[in-house]
Structure formats: C-alpha cells, structure tokens
Structure 1
Amino acid sequence: MNQVSHTAAHSGMALWAVLITSSFYAAAEVTGSVDPIFLTALRLAFSAVLFLPLVFLRGEASLSRSHLAGHAWLGLLLAVYFASLFEALRHTSVVTTALLFTLVPLMTLGIELRLIPSANSRGRIMPMLMGASGAALLIIGRAGHVVVSEPYPILVYAAGCLAMAVYSPLSQWLKKDSLRQRSPVGMTFWNMLFGAVFLLGYTFYDGGWRTAALLDVADIGWLFYLALFATLGTFWLLHRATASIAPATVISYIYLSTLITTACHWFWFKQTPVILEITGALMVGFGMFALFQVGKRRGSAAA
C-alpha cells in the first residue's frame, strides 16, 4: 500500500476531525424514533455500496480465506463498538460516554505496544495524556457537571471502547500479513460491509429493524450524507493515515474533534467559554502539536 507523507496524513486526520464533528449535527436531523443501531447499520451499508465501484476498479472485490477472517474480525470490532455505545446511552448520559471515549487513544497505545511496537511510543505518552485531559475538561466544561453513572452502562461501553482501541492496531498488524495487499479503499469497504452485516443481524435479533418504517425522505437524505462524508470519508482517511503514522496517534484526533465541537458552541451558538473549556482547549492544542512533532522527528530519523 502506498504511504502518504507525514504531513499529508496529519492533514487528512484534521479533516477527519471536522467530518466527525459535522456528523454529530447531521445525525441529530434523523428521526429520533428509528433504532440507532439500525441507522448505524444502514450508514455502514450505504457507505460500502458507494465504495463498491472503486473496489472493482482496484481489483479488491475478491476475498481469500485470510481476507475473510481479517475483515470479519475488524467488522465485528466496529459492530461491538456501536452496539455498546447505543446500549450504554439507554442507561447513561452522552457526557459519561464522551468522557470514557477520551481513554480510547491511550488504550490504543497500550495495544499498539503489544502488536506493533515502535521507537517513539514513550514520547507519545505525555502528549496523549495532555490531549485526553484537555478533552475531558472540554466535555465537563460544556456540560457543566459530571453525571455519576451506574456500573452497567460503564462496563458495556468500556467493552466497546476496548473494541475500538483494538481496531486500528489490529488493522495495521493484519496489513503486514493477511491483508498486506489491501489499500485504504479495500480496507474501508470490506470492514464497513462486515460491520453492517453484524449490526443488521443484531437488529433482526432484537427487532430494531422494524423501525425502518418510520424513516422518511429527509432521513434517507441525511443518511446518505452521513454515509458519504461522516462514515466512508472518515474511515478512508483513518486507513490512509495508519499507513504512515501510528494508530494511537491517528485515533488521538478525536481530541481535536472535541475541541472543534466546543468551538462550534462558542462561535455558532454564541456560548461564552468557561475557564475549564479554555484550559482544555489549550491542553488539546499543545498535546496535538506535540504528537505531530514526535511523529515528525521519527520520520526525519527514519529518512
């Protein structure tokens, strides 16, 4: 797989953070009475269909046994994450899940050290801790409080966060062996397709598919927008970046997305920033800059 430059990978992930932020607002436009897991399955399925022509053009439409196993595992991790998120949200607040998700990059780093250790891993610990702490302050500052949750949703979503943390390092590890011929296009298509299949299977089991009758034309339009930009685009950018920069650094861009979301509330919704948000914004900014510099020095040393 052809690698993009260090700067291009980071620039792509900055765009990823913008697209992730936009997805929150677009998702809010879809009818709230439709089962969220079913909606996510549709998003993944629509995204895979949109990528199908490119998959045929690149000759990645066939699956060997090793390809099947690799993509199935990665698709299952996506399904576990989304299913756990929506199950947790039935019992706790968005603030609680958002705070838990700030731990995913650090969890990713731990798994990365086991699967694909690199020389600059220690140098990324402090910037990532700063970014995670800053993102937590942004979330708490915007919410104005921390909700004490019951153990059940925390344990459920923690399992989902672990699945998401495994996703990128496992993807990169598999690219060295069974999936080494897969491009970002092929990885995005097949992982999303398997994720959609697992999620659709779950909704048929629990009956969530029946809410499809509540979808209207506007909902379908928003779903295609989400499928094209917030799902297909973000997964392609993620797989494109992991070919050049470490998986834990890639997923750390969720901190930048948190900062962008908060900035939208400041400027779009005319909300006055509180001291926690300002402190968190500075910490995220310094943390992300430090991560960029650590990766840049590694790239220069390798050259």
Structure 2
Amino acid sequence: MKPASFLNAHLGMLLWAVLIAASFFAAAQVSQAVDPLLLTGLRLLLSALMFVPSLWLNGAFQITRAGLRAHAVLGLLLAVYFASLFEALRHTSAVNTGILFALVPLLTLLFEGVLLSGSPAKNRLLPMLLAAAGAMLLTFRGGGAEGMPSLYALSVYGVGCLAMACYSPLSQRLKATSLKDRSPAAMTFWNMLFGALFLFAFCLPGGGWRSAALLTLEDGLWLLYLALFATLATFWLLHRAIGVIAPATVISYIYLSTLFITLFHWFGLGRQPLPSELLGALLVGLGMLALILGSRRPVPVPG
C-alpha cells in the first residue's frame, strides 16, 4: 500500500478529529445498561472483522510469532486505556477524565523521546501546551467546579493515559522491527482484535458479559455505526498518519475534536459561547496551527 503523503496524512487526521467528536454523540445512544467494556470490545471486534476480506485477498494474514507478540502488546495498551477510563468514570466525572486526557499528547511527546531517536520535542512543546490549555477550558464549559477526582480514580485513569500515550510511539518503533512493512489495515486489524480479546477477558471476573442479553436491535445498529466510523476509520487514519507525522502531533488532533464538539454546541444547539470557551477555542486553534505548520516527517527509529 502506498504511504500517505504529508498533506494527506494531516487531512486524514482532520477527518479523524471530526469522527471522534461525532462518536461521543453516537455512543450516548447505546443503552447504558450494557457493560461499557463489553460494548467497546464488541466495537473493536466488529471493526477488526470488517478488514478480513481485504486482508484475505491481499494475503496479509501471514505473520510471525514476534509480530503476534507485538500486536498483543499494542492491543493490551488499548484495552488497559478503555478499562481504566470506564473504571475511573465510576468514581469521578467525565469532565475530570476529559481534563486528564488533555495530558495524553504531552505524555506521548515524552514517550517519543524515550522510544524514538531524534524526535524534535522542544519545537512542539509550547504549541501543545497552548492547545492543551485551550482544550481544558473547553472541557470545563463553564459548568463550575467538578471537585477533585479521588486518588483512586486519578491513579487508575493515569495508568490508562500512560498506556494510550505509549501506543503511537511504540507502534512506530515496532514498525521498524517486528512489524516492518505492515500496512495501516493490517496494523488496525491485529491491534483491534487483540484489544477486543483483552476487553472480553476483563469482562469475565465481574460478569459484565451477561449484559449482552440487554442489547436491542437499535443498540446493534448504533454499535455497527460506531464500529465502522468511530473505530475502524479512526484507527486506520491514525496508523496511516503514524510514521508520516510525529506520533505526539498525530494524537494532538484530539484537541480539535474537543473544539469541534464545542462548535457543535454553539452553532448546532444554539448555546451562547462563554468568554472562557472563546479563549479556549483560540488557544486550541493557535496551538494546532503551530503544530501543523512546524510538523515534519519523523526521523527513523533505531532498529
């Protein structure tokens, strides 16, 4: 598969930000009685299965044991992130988790320095700090204090944020060794397949798998939508961009998702923007513009 061009990678990530923003509204339509770990596992599994015909026709199922181990590690990182998020949401608010998630691109920048050679972190730190500050202002939405999260919730979700921050740089490093020449479709398929299996395993001790009986036809249709657009498409776009754009810059597009959600509330729902939100939107816009203009192809990683 021909690698994405530099411009196409950025355009793809812009679409990624839109799809991520839309996924929050779609996910709210699925029954809240169903275990969220099970739902996420089903989303990942459905998305992975959609790649089977393409990979089968292209003979891309051949993989070494080292490749399987690498995909298992990446899939475990995904599962740990989602499991930590849903566990933290039992003990704190979505606002607090949203603020913590704003730190993920900055943590990704840290992992770049550890896992990849010659990553120009200093040039991107200030723009990312601006965008992160803006995203935090947008996440608050003037709703007042949510209260500090408990130490337990902070610790649990902190582990998940570290797992998600490690995902992109580790993917790029492994693509230089045990996952060399793997296409974005193959990377997406195997990582989501292992992620789904780990999430299903996490459902077993608490009996969350039993909630599958509560799924309705409408839930199934929303799950299909989420699997196709919010999971399959976004993971493919993510892996398409990794290696063309530095991983921390790639994941920083999550700040644009926060901005798009806010813009929808302003123009779609007619909500009056608050001064803090206007400042947040400006910071996100300036930070992301600086990141995009200053981005370049990442340097080769060590073998």
TM-score, normalising length: structure 2: 0.96
Output aligned runs, 1:103-182, within 5 Å: 103-118=103-118, 120-182=120-182
For residue 209 of structure 2, what is the aligned residue in structure 1?
209
Structure 1 residue runs of 4 or more that deviate by more than 4 Å after TM superposition: none
How far did 1:269 drift? 1.5
Partners in 2 of 1:57 and 1:246 — Cα distance?
A: 31
The answer (yes or no) to whether the contact 1:95–1:143 under 8 Å persists in 2 is no
Partners in 1 of 2:146 and 2:272 — Cα distance?
A: 19
Amino acid of the residue matched to residue 150 of structure 1? S
Amino acid of the residue matched to residue 64 of structure 2? S
Amino acid of the residue matched to residue 216 of structure 1? T
The answer (yes or no) to whether the contact 1:4–1:243 under 8 Å persists in 2 is no
For residue 102 of structure 2, what is the aligned residue in structure 1?
102
Partners in 2 of 1:173 and 1:58 — Cα distance?
A: 24
Partners in 2 of 1:246 and 1:6 — Cα distance?
A: 11
CA RMSD of aligned residues (A): 1.5
Partners in 2 of 1:3 and 1:127 — Cα distance?
A: 27
Q: 1:52-101: per-residue Cα shift (whole Å, max 9, x none)?
A: 11111222212211111100000000000000000000010000000000
Partners in 2 of 1:143 and 1:244 — Cα distance?
A: 38
Amino acid of the residue matched to residue 42 of structure 1? L
The answer (yes or no) to whether the contact 2:115–2:169 under 8 Å persists in 1 is yes
What is the SS of the residue equivalent to 2:63? Answer: coil
Shift of the 58–144 alpha-carbon distance from structure 1 to 2, 3 Å rule, reads farther
How far did 1:4 drift? 1.5
For residue 27 of structure 2, what is the aligned residue in structure 1?
27
How far did 1:119 drift? 5.0
Shift of the 71–137 alpha-carbon distance from structure 1 to 2, 3 Å rule, reads same
How far did 1:202 drift? 1.0
For residue 13 of structure 2, what is the aligned residue in structure 1?
13
Q: 1:112-161: per-residue Cα shift (whole Å, max 9, x none)?
A: 01111335321111110111011011111353334212110111000000
Output aligned runs, 1:1-303, within 5 Å: 2-118=2-118, 120-295=120-295, 298=296
Range with greater deviation from structure 2 (118-127 or 60-69): 118-127
Amino acid of the residue matched to residue 98 of structure 1? G
Partners in 2 of 1:290 and 1:54 — Cα distance?
A: 37
The answer (yes or no) to whether the contact 1:134–1:284 under 8 Å persists in 2 is yes
**Unaligned segments of structure 1, at least 5 residues:** none
Range with greater deviation from structure 2 (130-139 or 115-124): 115-124
Amino acid of the residue matched to residue 220 of structure 2? I
Range with greater deviation from structure 2 (269-278 or 155-164): 269-278
Partners in 2 of 1:63 and 1:193 — Cα distance?
A: 14
Amino acid of the residue matched to residue 69 of structure 2? A
Range with greater deviation from structure 2 (118-127 or 198-207): 118-127
Amino acid of the residue matched to residue 215 of structure 2? L
Higher helix share: 1
Identity %: 57
Amino acid of the residue matched to residue 128 of structure 2? M
* Count of residues paired in the alignment: 299
The answer (yes or no) to whether the contact 2:112–2:119 under 8 Å persists in 1 is no
